[in-house]
Structure formats: C-alpha cells, structure tokens
Amino acid sequence: MGKKSVGVSMGGKGFRHSINSSGRRTTTVGVPGTGVSYSHSHSSSKKSRNKTKPMNTTNNYTGGNGNSSSKQVYDYTQTPAYIVEKYEERVLALSQLHLNLIKPIDWNARAKQQPPFKIGEMGQNEAAASQVLKEYKPSFFAKIFKKDKAKLNNLQEQVSEASKKDKKIYAEWLEMVQQAQMFASATPDLYLELLRQTDFFKIESELGVKIRLELKEDEILIDLVINDTLIPDEVTSLSKTGRLSTKAQTKTNYYSLYQQHICSIILKVVKDCFNTLASIKEISINVIEEKVDPTDGHHKVFLLIQAAFAKEELENLNFERLEPVAAIEGFEPKWKFLKTKGYQPLAVN
C-alpha cells in the first residue's frame, strides 16, 4: 500500500504478477538460483492509453555491450561535393578580384556637407530628451511615495547625456569636413594618406603582394610585386561515381589561371587608385617578381609586365563582364607569356 495507490501481488519464486489501484500491472519472470530475471510493466488506465509519448529527437541505439550512443549526424561539409564546390569557388575568386573595388569618394561633396545643427542650438538628441523632461508630470502615487524627484533627476541626467552625444556628433562632422577640404585639393604629398583612408593596401596581406608607389601631380607609377603562392597545384573534382578526385594541375591550366589572377590584380589596383585619387589621369604599372634565379642561385628581381592606363579609357570598361587578360591586352602591355612556362622576364632598359 502506498500513499496514492493500493496494490496486490500474486505468485511465487520464478513468477510474480502485481496490480495496483492506478491500473499499473507488473510481471516479473526469473530463473531461480541464477539471478537472471525479466520485468515488464504497463498501464491499463485510459489516461495512460491516450497519453502520447514525447518524440525523442536523438536517435539512440544500444550496442552489444549495453552502451547507448548517438546515431552519426550527416555533415555536408565533409562530402566530396562540398569539397569540390569550395575548390571551384576559390579558383573563381582568384580571377575576380577586380569586382571588389573601392567606391569613389567625392571629397568636394563631403567638404560642403551641412552641420548636424547650428552652434548655440540644441542637437537632435538633446532636443528630444528635453521635450520628454518638459512633458513629465508625476502621477498621484509617485508624489505619495516620493518617487517624483528620483524620476525628475533621471530625466535631467538623460538630457545631459543627450547633450554629450550631440557634441560628439558635431565634433565628428567637423573633423570629416576639415579632412574632406584638405583631400579635395590634395597634392602628391597627401595621396598616400588618401589611399590609407581606404582598403587600398589590404590586398598586400590578403594576397601576399607588395605595392610601391611613386606619386606625381597627375600620374602615378606603381611597382606591383607578385607571386604564385595562391595558385593551386592540384585540380579537385568529382569522379563519375561521385568520389573525390585530385590530380596534378597541368602546366597549361596552372599558368592560364596565374595569368588571369595577375591581370585581375592589375585591374583592381589601377581602378582603386583612380577611384580614390580624383586628380590622377594616368597610371603606369610595372609587375615584378622577386625569386631565386635557378641559373646562379641568387635572389633577383624580374620585370614581367609593363602597362599604362589612361583614366578615361579605363572608365569605359564594364568590369562586371570583362575577361581580365583580354581587358589588359586592350592597353597594349609589354609582356612575354608562354602557355607552359608563364610570364618570362623582360629586358630592362
């Protein structure tokens, strides 16, 4: 007998059947002397029959050793299809760097931008907080429990904080306008600072290249030091049976991808310069490779490409649809490219 139910048992050694008043039935069968037994319980009440067991979202199974473990979860990121997909995205990105450009900055427009509010007047935040303070009327209970003074102090603090926020906004506007006025009439000594205000030099860390600039009044000379460390040596694809296949890259494919990659970098660097420095009309670029000369074992600098770009001509290109190598060829560059050997060094005058 329990606090909530009454039960009765019948049977002896090896078999016992129990029933309690809640409707729960338990049958126990055992083999005397062995310690081995089996017990099964079930409920015959309507409440139990109609109750739906919550769904277990974890699929478990019990192994032969009695240990419970979770069913292996399908992970798409480990499949051959996903690995090939990521490989193809990486390869495509190498020749699409020219699509991620710095947006042109209109420094003249920034220099003429109106202030957020006039000196001697309230800013937007302070005005809003002051209006709330002005309209505050303590309730009857606030007066009874003397909470009106605390509320009033809180609103006054909000006005003070709003005033500080407006002053910060005004200071930021003033700094921006002064900077814009300086850059709007920039001279070569400010060009480098202008480029640093953007993500122009970010590709040095991302792609492992180096950019050296010689700045003049209306033209720039760029030395672009490149390497082929990002070009994959292998091709990853799916076999006919859906398995992952990895093969060595052919020389033709390798150097073709390298050429597309370098031309895409050139287009990005030149276009970003024109977009940032409004007064620049022409950019000349030398593409250089620094490596060990296999003929003598010394570290040397090799000139691979020379090209010049007029701003007006570059502006006519549709960067979304162009093919990098063909676009550069339109500017008649000096280069010697072999399909199975890549760029060959140019003679330096």
> What is d(CA 227, CA 209) in angstroms, rounded to the nearest whole number?
7
Give me 3's structure tokens. 């606090």
Residues 226, 210 within the same domain: yes
Judge whether 58 lies within some domain: no
Residues 152, 271 within the same domain: no
Chain CA centroid to CA 289, Å: 30
Residues 166, 301 within the same domain: no
Give me 96's structure tokens. 């699409």
Query: Residue 43: which domain range?
Result: 1-49
Do the beta carbons of residue 132 and residue 155 sit within 8 Å?
yes
Residues 325, 236 within the same domain: yes
Residues 127, 171 within the same domain: yes
Tell me what pLDDT residue 47 has: 45
Residues 138, 236 within the same domain: no
Looking at 184, 213, 234, which one is the last position of a domain? 184
pLDDT at 64 > cutoff 60: no
> What is d(CA 325, CA 309) in angstroms, rounded to the nearest whole number?
14
Tell me what pLDDT residue 53 has: 42
Tell me the mean pLDDT in the region 247-254. Answer: 95
Instruction: Give the tens place of pLDDT for each residue, 93-115.
Output: 999 999 999 998 888 898 999 99
Rounded to 10 deg, the angle between the 188-196 and 148-184 helix axes is 140
Total-model pTM: 0.67
Residues 90, 175 within the same domain: no
Instruction: Give the tens place of pLDDT for each residue, 184-236.
Output: 877 888 888 889 888 999 999 999 999 999 988 789 999 999 988 899 999 99
Domain count, the chain: 3
Judge whether 284 lies within some domain: yes
Looking at 158, 184, 210, which one is the last position of a domain? 184
Q: Residue 273: enclosing H or E segment and its boundaries?
A: helix 251-276
Residues 92, 118 within the same domain: no
Residues 208, 327 within the same domain: yes
> What is d(CA 18, CA 311) in angstroms, rounded to the nearest whole number?
95
Looking at 151, 184, 217, which one is the last position of a domain? 184
User: Percent of the chain at pLDDT above 90?
Assistant: 51
pLDDT at 7 > cutoff 90: no
Residues 98, 222 within the same domain: yes
Judge whether 68 lies within some domain: no
Instruction: Give the tens place of pLDDT for each residue, 148-166.
Output: 778 888 889 999 999 999 9
Among the listed ranges 47-61, 196-210, 282-296, which one has the minimum average pLDDT value?
A: 47-61
> What is d(CA 187, CA 86) in angstroms, rounded to the nearest whole number?
45
Residues 124, 259 within the same domain: no
Among the listed ranges 53-57, 126-130, 253-257, 321-325, which one has the minimum average pLDDT value?
A: 53-57
Residues 22, 123 within the same domain: no
- Residue 312: pLDDT band (50, 70, 90) is very high
